[in-house]
Amino acid sequence: MKISNLKLHSVAIADPPLRSSYGLHAPWALRTIVELETDDGIKGVSETYGGDAPRAALEAMREFVIGRDPFQLAGLYQQVCGKSAGGRDVPGGRSQTWLVPGENPLDQHNRTFAALEIACLDIIGKAVSQPVCDVIGGRVRDAVPFSAYLFYKHAGGGGEGQYADEYGEVLTPEATVRECRQMVKQYGFREIKLKGGVLEPAVEIATIQALRAEFGKDYPLRIDPNCAWSVDTSVKVGEALHEELSAGGYLEDPCPEIEGMSEVRKRLLAKGIHTPLASNVAVTQMADVPRARDLDAVQIVLSDPHYWGGMRQVQYLSHLCEVLGMGLSMHSNSHLGVSMLAMTHVAAACPNLTFACDTHYPWQTEKDEIVEGGRIRFENGTVRIPDKPGLGVTLDYDQLARGRERYEKITLRKRDDEAEMRKHVDPNWKRILPRW
Ligand SMILES: [Mg+2]
C-alpha cells in the first residue's frame, strides 16, 4: 500500500471571545484538515493547527509522504523530525512572551509529523478493520472522560455576530458558576478546569471557591493561569486553594519556567500543601520531562497528540511518566470533531492517563463541524470510542467546503490573542509575565 495523495484543507471556525493570559480569542479559530489517500482507495484524515505556517510545513513534507507505505511510521518520523526530534538542535530557543498556547518553536516538526501520523493511523485502522486505539496497542477504556473547560469571556458567540452566544459575558465568580452549570448540564462533565490568569488572583480564587461550593468535592477542580503569576503569587493561590485543588485536581503552569515551578512546589510542600503542579508550557517535549522531574517542578505532564508528535509519542510519554512516577493528563486547543476523536483514541490507549482530558469542543458549534453526522456526542462527560475502523469519522465535504470559504473570506492567518485584546478591550494591552 502506498500513499498516493495528500490534501490540505484550511478552515475557519467560529470562536467566542474567550480570555486567557495570552489575551483574547479572535472571532475565528483556524484549523487544517489533512487527508491522505492510498493507491488502493483508503482515505485517512487528521486535524491540526491552522493558518499559513502549519500548512506550509505540511506542504513541505509532500515529497516524503507521496509514495510512502502508511505503515512505515518510524521512517516518516525520522524524515520529518530528523535530528531535531529531541528538540535540542533547533535554533531560536523558546520565548514565552510571544508564544500562543500549543506553540513552542522547538516542537514544529513534531506538530507536522503528528498530523501525518494520525492520518496514517486512520488508514491503518481502516486497512485492518480496527479502531485506531486498538491498532496502537489496545484500549484500556472504552470511553474517555473530558473536563468542563471554563473560560472568562466577553459577550458574544464568535464568528462575526452570526453565532449564538450560549454563555453570555462571564467575568465574575457568579457568572463562571452559571457557565459551569450550563456546561455540566449539557455534557455531563465530572471534572472542572478554569482558565485563569485573566482577573485579579483574588477573584480567581473566589471563582474556584464558588465552584467548589456549588459542585462539591466530587468534582475535582484545576486552574491554569498560563504563567500569569509570580512565584510568590502562585504560592499564595496554592495556599488559598489548598483544599479545593488537592483532591484530584491540580495547579497548572502557575508561573513561568521549570525553575519557577520548582520553587513554588518547594514552598508549598514546606507548608504541608501537596497540590500537584501540571504543565503544558514549561514541559512540551520529552527532553523537558527528566529535568522537570529532577527539580520536582511538575508532577503531571499535559500531553497533546497534536504537538507531542502524534499518538505513539503520547503513548511513549505516558510510559515515561509512569516510570518516573509522574501523572499524565491532556491539553487541548480550539478544535473540531476529527481532533476530538484523535484525542479520545490516544487517551483510551494510555493506561497512565487518569485525569479527565481538556477539550475546547463545547466552545465550537454544530454549524462549523466538518464530520458526517454532526457534532461528536458526549455521554456523562465522556466520549465513547466509535465501533468503526480507524478514527471512526468521515468528512462531510459540504461542511468542509463551508469551512474553507470562511477561511478564504477572512484575513486572519496566524493566531494573535494579544492583537485581539488591543483591538477589542484595551489598546495598550501587553502580555506581561508574571502579571501578578
Ligand atoms: Mg495549560
Give 46's strand partners: 34
Q: Return the CATH class of domain 3-130+399-408.
A: alpha beta
Q: How far is the CA of 99 from the centre of ligand 1 (A)?
A: 13
CA distance 167 to 180: 9
pLDDT in tens, 289-331: 999 999 999 999 999 999 999 999 999 999 999 999 999 999 9
Q: Which of 9, 126, 153, 331 is catalytic?
A: 331
Q: How far is the CA of 196 from the centre of ligand 1 (A)?
A: 10
Q: How far is the CA of 149 from the centre of ligand 1 (A)?
A: 11
Q: How far is the CA of 285 from the centre of ligand 1 (A)?
A: 14
Active site residue 9: no
The pLDDT value recorded for residue 247 is: 87
Q: Which residues surround ligand 1, an ion (CB under 5 A)?
A: 224, 280
Q: What is this structure's pTM?
A: 0.95
Mean pLDDT by 10 residues, the chain (436 residues): 98 98 97 98 98 95 96 94 52 44 74 97 98 98 98 96 95 98 98 98 98 97 98 98 95 97 98 98 92 97 96 97 97 97 98 96 97 98 98 98 98 96 97 95
- DSSP secondary structure letter of residue 131: B
Domain boundary assignment for the chain: 3-130+399-408, 134-398
Kindly state which CATH superfamily the domain 134-398 is placed in: Enolase-like C-terminal domain (3.20.20.120)
Q: How far is the CA of 224 from the centre of ligand 1 (A)?
A: 6
Q: Which of 25, 126, 153, 195 is catalytic?
A: 195
Q: How far is the CA of 148 from the centre of ligand 1 (A)?
A: 14
CA distance 13 to 371: 13
CB distance 109 to 83 below 8 Å:
no
CA distance 205 to 173: 9
Active site residue 409: no
